[in-house]
Amino acid sequence: MAVSDWKKSVVYQIYPKSFNDTTGNGQGDINGIIEKLDYLKTLGVDYLWLTPVYRSPMNDNGYDISDYYEINPDFGTKEDFKRLLDEAHARGIKIMSDIVINHTSTEHQWFIESRQSTDSKYRDYYIWKDGDGDQPPTNWESKFGGSAWQKDEITGQYYLRLFDVTQADLNWENDSVRQDIFDMINYWIDFGMDGFRFDVINLISKGDYKNSDDIGKEFYTDGPRVHEFLHEMNRSTFGDKEGFMTVGEMSSTTLEHCIKYTKPERQELNSVFNFHHLKVDYKDGEKWSEQPYDFLELKKILFRWQVGIEAGGGWNAIFWCNHDQPRVVSRFGDDTTEEARVRSGKMLAIALHFLQGTPYIYQGEEIGMTNLYFNSIDRYRDVESLNAYSIMKERGISDSQAIRILSDKSRDNARSPVQWDGSAHAGFTTGTPWIDLADNYQHINVEQALADKHSIFYTYQRLIELRHELDVMTYGKVVPLLEEHPQLFAYERQLDEELVIVIANFSGQMVEAPADVNIDGEVLINNYDSYSGKFEPYQAIAVKK
């Protein structure tokens, strides 16, 4: 069913390059998405979020846009994209496009002209600075490692690039930049788009260009004019479009800023992604490290954001997975046996989907796809992972440990092709896939999941039905329970006289039910056949009182 209130929606994220290939070139395409729309309708989702499909040299898999108005020929044509919109709409599914407006590709015409002369009107579309002697303008570090400044041999100045060397940051202080971006957004709204996901949107306002005590992020994260810029964008583009959905990806943000970003009366964005809960396996804040995840810290962060956003009148996106994160069943679940994978995959779904906010399902999550466990660096494709491998080796980390870290943390874990069936290349392509598949695709695939009524897929389908049916899942207050319990994740949802209690066992051991928790009532969902008064390994249950 299509829902009229975007807050009751469930979003499915598609990484087009790895979704479904109809041409045999080893990369997914727009027609491949169209081919699977009936499957997505069966799942029951309301929106599809597509990572960028615009023209791009694909140095960062589409997050380096060279032409905002054209579709990347690797994915198809603008006519294909229009047909996707029409076919999705005919099934009651809306399309949300991913758009990158913090930076462009250095192959974008604006940047090409910006480089050619310091007198070009496009020079001020980007952030150019003189070096400090023979050093970059500041000591800021790129999110992908190394300096955030790149020297340009043509003019001798440096341009800011918080990400890859081919991704030049736009200068949002320039009125013309903002107007050109707003014109482009309006073009796609008129084309038929139903929403936008804005990449690293809280980095668009830069503060002072000074040396940093850290790596520079204090000068550009949630910067001085970011709320002003987002309000202006809202008023100039989507703000008056009924039901139009927007979500901002927020890098290293704060709860206080996210309330401001999403409080309706401020007229900025509908909702936000934050990533604090996905850093609980970072050792001393370092991603490229080996450390078991901290369960108590995971609960603490999730509850802090749940309670805080609701109290502040804002709105969360809730998610375990996306194209930048490892597979959750390998990360917070257990993929060491088939039974544990299925149990923990269902448990993680139930634990998340009863929280407040808009749930996001990442392609393959609904069938419990796992990490890749590649054993050599030449199987990796992700620019961030390749850079991290080089840096780890320079630091003296052994090859085996570096590969182990990548197998846990690499973005490629999420970017391998969707496993559709047990045939060659999992039915993703008739050609050679652009990246290898996980070795387990013959028993973890969509065909198998649909055939087994006890599969993870049907747990996700039921959770989506429940969100559409029960207002308490959308609007109910979140009340944390058992906050210090070492294995159980538990909370209540409260709305008027309705009360739902959710308890999930994150461990592979049997756990006694705490004496002060009563879960008598109507069982909404349970990943076991029954409840004995004890929680089985990875058991999760939601009960309506």
* Residues designated catalytic: 199, 249
Encoding tokens for residue 140?
């800021």
Question: Distances in Å between the alpha carbon of 334 and those of 352, 368, 450?
Answer: 16, 11, 22
Distance CA 192, CA 199 (A): 20
Distance CA 526, CA 139 (A): 52
Backbone angles phi, psi at 183, to 5 degrees: -60, -40
DSSP collapsed to 3 states, 462-509: HHHHHHHHCHHHHHCEEEEECCCCCCEEEEEEEECCEEEEEEEECCCC
HSE-up of residue 84 (Cα within 13 Å, Cβ side): 31
Q: Judge contact between 80 and 71, C-beta under 8 A.
A: yes
Distance CA 474, CA 354 (A): 8
Q: Judge contact between 320 and 277, C-beta under 8 A.
A: no
Encoding tokens for residue 300?
């603490």
Q: Give the burial string for 101-127 (b: 16+ CB within 10 Å, else e).
A: bbbbbbbbebbeebbeeeeeebbbbbb
Report helix angle 295-312 to 255-262, nearest 10. Answer: 40
Q: SS3 for 416? A: coil
Distance CA 9, CA 431 (A): 36
Nearest residue to 311 via CA among 473, 501, 478: 478
Distance CA 462, CA 534 (A): 24
Q: SS3 for 406? A: helix
